[in-house]
Amino acid sequence: MDFPAIISDKKYGRALTDEQIAAFAKGAADGSVPDYQLAALLMAIRLNGMDARETASLTLAMAQSGEMLKPNVGGIAVDKHSTGGVGDTTSLVLVPLCAACGAKIAKMSGRGLGHTGGTVDKMESIGMRTTLTEAEFLSQVQRIGCAIVGQSAELAPADKTLYALRDATATVDSLPLIASSIMSKKLAAGTDGIVLDVKVGSGAIMPTYEGSLKLARAMVDIGHRAGRNVTALLTGMNEPLGSHVGNRLEVKEAIEILRGECAGPLLTVSLKLGSYLLVAGEVAKTPEEGEKLLTKALQSGAGLAKLRELILAQGGDDSVCDHPEVLADAPIITSLCLPQSGYIKAMDTTLLGYASQALGAGRRQKTDEIDPRVGFIMHKRIGDSIAADEALCTLYAKDEKTLAEASDMIRRAVMVSPQPCDKERLLYAAVTHAGVTDFE
C-alpha cells in the first residue's frame, strides 16, 4: 500500500479506511514501514484526529498485530485498568477482594514510567514473579481466582512501536492514540469484562473532567464495537490516591487496608471499582450488591487471605501480610515540614510523582532500575489544616542527595492557603455504552 498517500489523506483531514489503518498497524508491528513515516502519520493523527470508527479500527488492528488470547478461567474473565496516577494501589486491594468474592481476575499490569507508578514494580518489591507462561497464568486464575502479570511482548506489538514513537514525537496527548493504546492491549488479552479507572486532575493524563470524559467515552465505545463489556469510572487524581507513594510502601498500605487497620480514599475507590468488576463477572447484579460483598470480604479477613494466596502463588514473601511494617525500611527516614501554617489548598500531583521518581522509586527512562525501599507517606490531604512545625509527610530515601531533591519538589508541589479549603472530589461518574451516571 502507498504509505505516503495514507499520510497525505490524514494530513488533509480525510478519514482513513480500515485497509489503510490495518497497513499502519502491520507496518508498526513488523517494521515494514520506517519510523519516519510512522511518526509523520502519528503527527497527522494528533493534529487532525480520528472519528469513532477510525479509532475503533485502529484499536482492533493493533490488537490483532500479535497474539490474541482467549482465557478459559472457569468463569467470566475480568480485568481492570487505570490510566495512571500517584499512590494508586487499587489493584493490590481490589484484586484479592474481588477474587475472595468469587470473581475471576485475569489482570495484566505495567511498570511505572514518568510520574506514575506500576503494579508490576510493587509486586516485584516483595519478590513476586510477574512473568508467567499463558498456561501458568490461566491455571492460577482457575485455581485461586486471580493472577497479576506484566504485559506480554506478544500482545499488541504495534502498540509497543507506536508508544515509543509517540513519546519521542510529542504526540502522547492524542485522544485516539491514547484510547487505542490502552484498549488494544485489553482486547488482545481477551477478558470479557473490563473496568477502566480514568483519572481526573493534576496527576492525570487528561487533567480536566471534560477531557477525561471524552477519553472514557472513546474507550467504552471501542469496547462496545469489539463486543466487550466495558465500564469506565472517572475518579480523582488532584492529590495522591493513597497516603503511601513508593513501591514497598504502597504494598504496605494495601496490606494495612486489607488488615482493617486503615481506610480512606484508596479503599473508597477500590471498593467502587471492585463493585463494577463483580457486576462484569456476574458475581453481583448491581454495584451496590457488589460493594456489600466486598465489604464483607474485607471485614471477614477473606481479602487479606486471598492476597496472601496470590503472593505465595507468584513466589513472593507472604510474611509481609503479618508484619507490613518491615516494608518501611529505607536507610534514611525523616519528616518534612512546610515553612507556613494554614490549609492545604492544592497539590501538583504530577510533581509529587516526580519527587518519588527523584528518590529512586520511579524511572526517568525504561532502562532505569528502581529502589523498592524509597518513597514518602503523606500525612495531609487537600482541605486539611497544617501547622508550620507539623509534618506534611515522612520521606524514605537512599541518600542525602535524592532526599534534598525530592524535598524541594514536594515543597513546591503543595500550596497552602490561610483560609479553609474544601476537600477534593473523589468519585465523579460511571460511563457505559448506555450513557453517563454521575456519582453526586
Query: Alpha-carbon distance 145 to 139, whole Å?
Result: 9
Q: Exactly one of 10, 26, 122, 185 is catalytic; which is it? A: 185
Q: Exactly one of 26, 46, 80, 81 is catalytic; which is it? A: 81
Residue positions counted in the chain:
440
The answer to whether the beta carbons of residues 108 and 150 sit under 8 Å apart is yes
Q: Exactly one of 88, 121, 159, 197 is catalytic; which is it? A: 159
Active site residue 159: yes
Q: Tell me the angle at which helices 265-280 and 287-300 cross, rounded to the nearest 10 degrees.
A: 120
User: Which residues of 268-387 form beta strands (DSSP E)?
Assistant: 332-337, 342-347, 375-378, 385-386
Q: Which cell is 237 given?
A: 487524581
Q: Exactly one of 26, 104, 166, 186 is catalytic; which is it? A: 166
Active site residue 181: yes
Q: Exactly one of 65, 174, 181, 270 is catalytic; which is it? A: 181
- Concatenated DSSP letters for 135-185? HHHHHHHHHHSEEEEEPPTTS-HHHHHHHHHHHHTT-TT-HHHHHHHHHHH
Query: Alpha-carbon distance 201 to 207, whole Å?
Result: 4
* Strand arrangement of the beta sheet that strand 77-82 belongs to: 146-150, 104-109, 77-82, 193-200, 229-236, 427-432, 435-438
Active site residue 81: yes
Pair type for strands 229-236 and 427-432: antiparallel
Please list the active-site residues.
81, 159, 166, 181, 185
